[in-house]
Copies of this chain bind each other. A is one copy, B any other.
């Protein structure tokens, strides 16, 4: 691996989408710095999945930033007194974590400056985006404009590009890309309430979108379920 290799920071939750993004970044020839967050979410199984995926795909580093977003609260994914819904809802869902992608991209921006990465990869998707405002193309464009002004790199005329390779793909297309790029989806965990072994509940929004994706892609579902 050349010292001149281009570098990317890849936001990696250990779920289907972000793991596919890591596979795509790697396939595009980037030295990948995977970045995961432990912000008090329910599914620590996801973090174990992130480690396994980073290892499988040969990320040069896998960094974990811990922070306590429970102090901020306001979402079913960080506030344990709100239950995870089993039905799809209208509008912005209660699983929305306030400003989550903004916070994650900001930390990725910091890491990108430090390791001199030229790109940040994030698995946002406008097709299956489920009503999260910070998954829309307009949000990403505005973040890019802000990032160009926020950083030492920007001051010095180097843009850190925000890359969203999944933006316009269906779940089935995402799975096709991941398989082509060599990702083992059996390692990934998407479930909002996976158990400690990373086995999925089968009933939450995330499980159902994922399962339908494997059906639509015509690929056998490698997900490990609790039942």
Contacts and interface: CB of A to CB of B under 8 A. Distances in A.
A5 interface: no
Interface string A103-142: 1011101110110000000000000000001101011001
Interface of A is mostly: helix
B138 A110 contact: no
B74 A98 contact: no
Interface residues of A, number: 45
Contacts of A72: 63, 65, 107, 110-111, 114
Interface string A146-158: 1111111011000
Number of copies: 2
A106 B136 CA distance: 17
Contact of A133 (B92, B96, B133, B150): B150
A211 interface: no
Given A63-B71, A146-B139, A133 B152 contact: yes
Nearest to A73: B114
9 contacts: A66-B67, A72-B114, A73-B114, A99-B110, A99-B113, A102-B147, A103-B106, A133-B150, A133-B152
